Copies of this chain bind each other. A is one copy, B any other.
Amino acid sequence: MGKGKLFVLSGPSGVGKGTVLDKLLSDFKDVQYSVSATTRKPRPGEKDGVDYFFLSREKFFKMVENNEFIEWAEVHNNYYGTPKIFVDKCLAEGKDVILEIDIQGARQVKKLYPDAIFIFLVPPSLNELKRRLNHRGSEDEKNMKIRLNNAEDELKEVKNYDYKVVNDRLDDAVEKLKSIIIAEKCKIREEDCQ
């Protein structure tokens, strides 16, 4: 049994990373979700070590100090991070791990795991993203413009990725993601050539 592979799912905000990943994980058991750490309180039904590692702020910042996160960020006054030890343990056990993360986080991951497989989830088109944002009904003209400019910039990041998956129909996007994982496991490794 070889080492596991790390898959990184990223893409512009609002593209549907979470939905695609949830569906993948419910269909496909051969990949381990990378559990994040957070300082926010568990919601009803959430389990420590499954949904998140729930940490005190003290513990969280100790881990930040000790460089124990692959990346971390603040969102709405709570802190979230990806514990390196959890990912490394899974990989060493030969498990494949999938990590869902925003584009800035993905850049951090690339520095630490240059051999990870980077998958970029994109909307079918900028127009479609606009339509989806419009649909939310919460965007004024100016905010919409900023968001679309950001999305255009973010879409240029694709050049740093290995695969691109268009999130047009959910089932298709999930099948593509699953196919990428299965195919990567079939790639010839050095140990096959001995």
Residues of A participating in the B interface, judged by any CB pair closer than 8 Å: 119-120, 158-159, 161-165, 175-176, 178-180, 182-184, 186-188, 192-193
CB closest residue in chain B, given A155? B192
A sample of 11 inter-chain contacts (CB < 8 A) reads A120-B188, A159-B188, A162-B188, A163-B187, A164-B186, A165-B186, A175-B182, A176-B182, A176-B183, A179-B182, A183-B183
A159 to B189, alpha carbons, bound, how many Å? 9
CB closest residue in chain B, given A118? B188
Chain A binding surface, main DSSP class: helix
**Assuming A158-B188, A183-B184, what are 14 further A-B pairs, CB within 8 angstroms?**
A119-B186, A158-B193, A162-B187, A163-B186, A163-B187, A164-B186, A164-B188, A164-B192, A165-B186, A176-B186, A179-B183, A180-B186, A182-B183, A183-B183
CB closest residue in chain B, given A157? B193
In order of increasing CB-CB distance, the 6 nearest A-B pairs are A183-B183, A179-B182, A179-B179, A159-B193, A163-B186, A180-B183
Q: Which residues of B contact A159 (CB under 8 A)?
A: 188, 192-193
Q: Which residues of B contact A183 (CB under 8 A)?
A: 163, 176, 179-180, 182-184
Q: Which residues of B contact A187 (CB under 8 A)?
A: 162-164
